[in-house]
Amino acid sequence: MDHDPVLDAVGPRLRCLRQRRGTTLAELSEVTGISVSTLSRLESGGRKPTLELLLALARAHQVPLDELVGAPAPGDPRVRPRPVRRNGRTLIPLSKRPGGIRAYKMLVPAGEPAGEQKSHEGYEWMYVLSGRLRLRLAEHDFVMKPGEAAEFDTRVPHWFGSAGTEPAELLVLFGPQGERMHVRARPRGRG
């Protein structure tokens, strides 16, 4: 019989996790639908774990599958930001995962003239770190101070810029739709 050190370590890891949580084999069986006999053999190393069994156990223990199989620790988690300048603003990436929600630190220069409100697909969240930020959202006009946050549907026409004599620093979260170029908002009907 071939011995795989990764698979051989799964049984003791499963037993330790179950015992730490104070769960019996019968209780775990009830939650997972895996027989007590199979659970016992998994923990003792008498049965090799399958992906189907491991997924059920990971869900029951509410842990990532990696924790059950002892996957190697992830690599260096630090983000090596390369600032990007767009329209006079500096964006510093704070996340490196492609796709999904992205985090940025944004530096908004002082003295920008109020621009045209624009809209695009997505949702935006921003938090003011320093300075003051003016946010125009449709007919609303706000000035945000450090420690204040805003979130909004970006299909609503919006514009933001520094509201003082110094730059504003923000944390901004947005998804792939928010990275697309803004499109001009339709003007309100005249009348």
> In this structure, is residue 158 part of a structural domain?
yes
Is the same domain home to 55 and 102? no
**Measured between alpha carbons, how far is 92 from 107 in angstroms, rounded to an integer?**
8
Q: What percent of the chain has pLDDT over 90?
A: 45
Domain boundary among 42, 69, 96: 69
Listed in sequence order, the residues at least 6 apart from 34 whose beta carbon sits closer than 8 Å to its beta carbon are 28, 53, 56, 57
Residue, of 166 and 81, whose pLDDT is higher: 166
**Which pTM was predicted?**
0.55
Q: How many domains does the chain have?
A: 2
**Measured between alpha carbons, how far is 123 from 158 in angstroms, rounded to an integer?**
12
pLDDT in tens, 146-167: 999 999 888 899 999 999 899 9
Is the same domain home to 138 and 48? no
Is the same domain home to 141 and 105? yes
Q: What percent of the chain has pLDDT over 70?
A: 86
> In this structure, is residue 190 part of a structural domain?
no
> Where in the sequence is the domain holding 157, given as residue range(s)?
84-184
- pLDDT > 90? residue 190: no
Is the same domain home to 95 and 178? yes
pLDDT in tens, 2-27: 667 777 888 888 998 899 889 999 99
For 82-157, list the strands marked E by DSSP.
Answer: 84-86, 89-93, 102-108, 118-119, 123-130, 133-137, 140-144, 149-153
pLDDT tier for residue 100 given thresholds of 50, 70 and 90: confident
Is the same domain home to 152 and 94? yes
- CATH (domain of 56): 1.10.260.40
